[in-house]
Amino acid sequence: MEREIQAFVPEPGRTARIAAETAAVTARWPDPAHRPPLFGVPVGIKDIIHVDTLPTGAGSALPPEALAGRPATVVDRLRAAGAVIAGKTVTAEFAVLAPGPTRNPRNLAHTPGGSSSGSAAAVAAGMVPLAVGTQTVGSMIRPAAYCGVAAFKPTYGRIPVDGVIPNAPSFDTLGLFAADVAGLVPALAAVCDNWHPYEPPTGADHRPPGLPVLAVPEGPYLECAEPEALDVFATRVERLLAAGFTVRRIPVMADFEQVRAQLFTMNRYEVARTHAEWFAEYGALYRPETVRAIREGQGITEVEYVRAQRERVAFRDRMAAAMAGTDLWITPSATGPAPVGLTTTGSSVMCLPWSNAGLPSLTLPAGHAGNGLPLGLQCVGAAGDDERVLAWGALIETALGEG
């Protein structure tokens, strides 16, 4: 299976290493009654995240010693919870644009999405029950939707990103892939700062107990999705209404093209600064897509960047105000199903505003396109509402009945 999908970075001696890690975990927690929540769970780690026992290549041709860094806190926390590192998963080069070799397990002729390509594919193929990814714009939610699995991108800053090669630091967020919400929760509790499980109230208003009020963001943003994706999304909204959820339609982001331009300015500016030293020394080893992103960023001035950051704060405030009286935005997770071929990882536009605002985002499997490939439903909460987004996501998952 791995030979066809290529979810993992090749690793000599992988089997022996995993056996040794598993033995060490068992020796550390010999008593089954006192084992941690992720005891023995194999986890894939995106190859921009440093692991002490494995080199970091970041999907690039740069020498690993040039990229080396201290082990990531997220890896330390997974190991403290009993997890076993299954290996490094394939990423687009430096988590930017240039795809790796990974194929979509649902149809090998299609992209798995990116940049967390290998993490999404490994979970979808059943190679591991859990994988770590990162999202700058749409690098987790989109591939999870394309591959038909769940993924959660927490509020910006909720998981420490030390030990992770940056893309655009004011956006970069670590997150997790699993088959469903139940698979995400114990891992998020282990890796997020100050995680406190949320129990939906037994409820006293007109809604069934604990159900969130959902909001559909009407306007040019939603219209970025393909007609087929919007049709399937509409049927899932009807299911949620039938299950007792309240759904409101809220016109927002009339200036969405301006929001896209602002994000592009900030993203490219930061990418260029992140890679300044490496690019100066190893520029000839970079792939064309990454070179283009860096060159674009080099042409953006500090004045333009600071202006875009100010506009970003204003956008975040507008979206928070628009959410008043509701609990979750719901949207298609991607513009449509995974595109054919491996030369692109698809469009991240459906994730763009939420990543721009640093909001917690969950994607759940939600139907299929006419070609049989999966689609997803994206659920976005208020900043810091991560625990409630997961709890509400479990209710939505049950109502959708996609399992």
> Active-site residues: which are they?
46, 115, 139
Contact by Cβ (8 Å): 216, 247: yes
Residues 6+ apart with CB under 8 A from 294: 271, 272, 275, 279, 286
Compute the distance between CA of residue 346 and CA of residue 33 in angstroms, rounded to an integer: 45
Q: Are 7 and 127 in contact (CB under 8 A)?
A: yes
> Is the distance from CB of 348 to CB of 137 less than 8 angstroms?
yes
Tokens of 246: 């309240």
Please tell me the number of Cα atoms within 13 Å of 135 on its side-chain side.
38
Q: Over the Cα atoms of the chain, what is R_g?
A: 20
- Between CA 392 and CA 403 the distance in angstroms is 17
